[in-house]
Each structure stands twice: as C-alpha cells, then as structure tokens.
Structure 1
C-alpha cells in the first residue's frame, strides 16, 4: 500500500508562518503602523479587499488558465490575508487591554 504524502505538516505550516511574519514586519516598517490606525473596522476593510482580490485571481485563473496577474499573485494575496488576520488579532488584543 502506497503511503500518502502529508499535505500539512508542522514544518510546512511553520515555514509559511515565518514567511508571513517576515513580510508583515517589512510591510509594517514601510507603512509605519498604518494598518492599526482605523482599528478593527479598517482591518475588516483590508481583509475584505484581499478576499475579493483572491476571488478575482482564482476566477481568472480558472477562466484563463495560466494567466499571470499584473501585480500580486494568489500566493501573495493569501499571505496578505494571513497578515491582516494577525493584525486583526493584535488590534483586538490591544483593545481588550485598554
């Protein structure tokens, strides 16, 4: 019997989280904490925009095959979604501690 290759392993998850952490910290340096200025409402808007972008990229990929987007890829967009999720958790934590 052939052993299935594990799609999700701790090592794979940690690698993605390390990449997202690095990206998030570099972007925060560039934007100067701007993602926190509008609280959870602003965070929700950023997440909504990224989820819509993800939807469009996936739909275009299905419709057009291997079409290359003009700007960020599906991978970039998913990393941003994770990043905005982390920012949302940080905002929530900060609001609870006030």
Structure 2
C-alpha cells in the first residue's frame, strides 16, 4: 500500500531544503529571469533527462534525479515570479530582487500548497495512474507541457480554451515528483 502524501512531502522537503541552501549561496538572483527564461531552463533539464534516458550515458557525472529536483524548483520559481509580478522596489520601480529567506520560504510553501491541492484532486480522479506509468513517459509529458508553456508565452499569455502557464508549471512539478518517487522506490 502506498502513501502518496508522505512520499510526495518527502520529495518536496528534499527539494525545498536544496532550494533554501542555494538561496544562501546565490540569493534570489533568479528574480532577474523573465518567465520564458525560466521555462527554457526547465526545458534544458527535461531535455537532458530524456537524453540520459535514451543514451544511458552521462558525461558530467550527474544522473537524472538532480534534474527532476531542478525542474521542481524552477517551476516553483516560475510560480513565485507569477505571484510577484507586480512586486517592485519602491525606490527604483523595478522588480524587487532581494527576498528575505523567511518570506521566500513562505512563498515556496504557499505555491507547493496549491500544487498539492491539485495533486490530490487529480490523483483522486485518475486513481494514481502515474504509478503504472514509465518515468520516460512522464518525462515526455513534462516536455510536452513545456512546449505548451512556450506557445502560451509566445502568444503573450493568451489562450482560447486552455489553462494558463501556471497550470502547466504545477503539472510539471507533480510529474517530476512522481518520477522521483518512482526512482527512489527502486
């Protein structure tokens, strides 16, 4: 019997810990990135995963798990950027670059809270179908979601009947978490 919530929260806690440690090293330099740049960074990670899955060879010595963690954390960055779209420095009018760690942790938790709600709703409706999926298939779905996101960004956020970029980032987080759960269960 699986306990998806416990497994999910363990993966997210590991990702959050790394996110906050990198914040200590780099600060919130990522705030300079526009959403399409974050999307492209996620794309690079997903494409590398696919290449490693197909070739089985890593020349830089890192496997796919760190790339899935990167996908999760970059998606959280994108969701935070969306939340802070109008958050500017009162002195310059430009985007506020420095976010105190305590505030950043709250933002991370809030975005993950929204993603977890989506997970439980979809997991109920789909009956944990992801457990029977291949990691390679979920990687392809992440890449498809990225291509959709890029198209929405190229259309300046305009969609006729589709969800926006935030829904795609949330889905990518969930698929990346599922992949990490499956990879660590081996």
Deviates more, 1:33-42 or 1:17-26: 33-42
> 1:16 aligns to what?
11
Instruction: Output the TM-score relative to the length of structure 2.
Output: 0.43
Q: Does 1:43 align with 2:38?
A: yes
Match of 2:63 among 60, 73, 77: 73
Return closer, same or farther for 1:28/1:15 CA change in 2, 3 Å cut-off: same
Instruction: Output the TM-score relative to the length of structure 1.
Output: 0.77
**CA deviation vs aligned residue, 1:29-80 (integer Å, no higher than 9, x gap):** 222212221221221121111111111111122xxxxx56533211111011
Deviates more, 1:77-86 or 1:88-97: 88-97
Structure 2 residue ranges without an equivalent (≥5): 89-186
Match of 1:30 among 17, 25, 31: 25
4+ residue segments displaced more than 3 Å: none
**Contact 2:35 2:78 (8 Å CA) reproduced:** yes
Q: Does 1:88 align with 2:78?
A: yes
Distance 1:50 1:68 in 2: 13
Distance 1:34 1:72 in 2: 24
Root mean square deviation of aligned Cα: 1.9
Structure 1 residue ranges without an equivalent (≥5): 62-66
Return closer, same or farther for 1:9/1:71 CA change in 2, 3 Å cut-off: same
Distance 2:39 2:86 in 1: 17
Q: How many aligned residue pairs are there?
A: 88
